[in-house]
A = this chain, B = another copy of it.
């Protein structure tokens, strides 16, 4: 298994990326890890020789957080993310991981690695937090702003395969994000998608409301990228507003400070549970090669976990399973 890691992507690159890869290398000796990025900068993060299962592929350039995605991928041919994608395309790696510009990674996946034959639109599929900790794989959360019913059907199938192959679920429950649970609820796209998904050979549990996601009444949540992204940002905004207000309340008087000190450990645990960035890297499903997006603020631990996720998905043949299902083989 060869996994290419974009050493230059993310807020804490290259230091934390390199540290994460080194930690992963010692833990997963059967994987070959390829650090893609500026060699001198990568080497300056090393205190000793590279382990035998890590190598560097030099890339002169990098894609920045505010680069326009498609243009950056097309023009910066020597950027670390682009070079990593090329390694996957050319079969020199089976997977890539990047904590860089999300839009650029989607563009690199689409334009360089390409789609699985038969997949019309790839989907970004992060794990949303749930109270029981098991999470809901939500897709698409932003790869495509406009989705036709047929695309939502493909998201449903890909999400179901992910949960069964990668998470070992026997019969993952697939729900369609909607404004009510009745079958005929929603806009034109969701009504048409409902009729299509209902016919698919997956365990469709019908429409799901956004407020029920935390209770995990499904394992896969299907939505278009626009609505999904609004939902994700509403979750973030609501949670950070509430935690911000709590903090203010907790520091109001000496009494409240004392009281807060008692409650803090439990609240921190809970806050971490709700933070979707704690739930690992998000796969870009539908790309003809494993492509994982780590959060922009990923530290060494997040990168190590990303490598673990990639190894697990490769061992369970995620991409091949999606390809087989879509082609009907």
Binding site for B on A (CB under 8 A): 131, 142, 145-146, 177, 179, 186-188, 190, 209-215, 224-227, 229-231, 233-243, 245-246, 249-250, 252, 255-256, 258-263, 266-267, 270, 274
Contact A239 B238, beta carbon cutoff 8 Å: yes
Contact B226 A186, beta carbon cutoff 8 Å: yes
Residues of B within 8 A of A250 (CB): 263
Residues of B within 8 A of A214 (CB): 237-238, 241
Give Cα A226–Cα B210 distance, bound, in whole angstroms. Answer: 12
Q: Which of A142, A213, A230, A274 has the most B CB atoms < 10 Å from its CB?
A: A230
Residues of B within 8 A of A238 (CB): 214, 234-235, 238-239, 242
Residues of B within 8 A of A240 (CB): 211
Least distance between A277 CB and chain B CB atoms (Å): 14
A210-B187 contact in complex given A142-B179, A245-B270, A263-B249, C-beta closer than 8 Å: no
Give Cα A239–Cα B267 distance, bound, in whole angstroms. Answer: 14
Least distance between A194 CB and chain B CB atoms (Å): 13
A-B contact pairs, 15 of them (CB 8 A): A145-B187, A179-B225, A190-B226, A210-B233, A213-B234, A213-B237, A214-B241, A227-B230, A230-B231, A234-B234, A249-B263, A250-B263, A258-B259, A259-B262, A260-B263
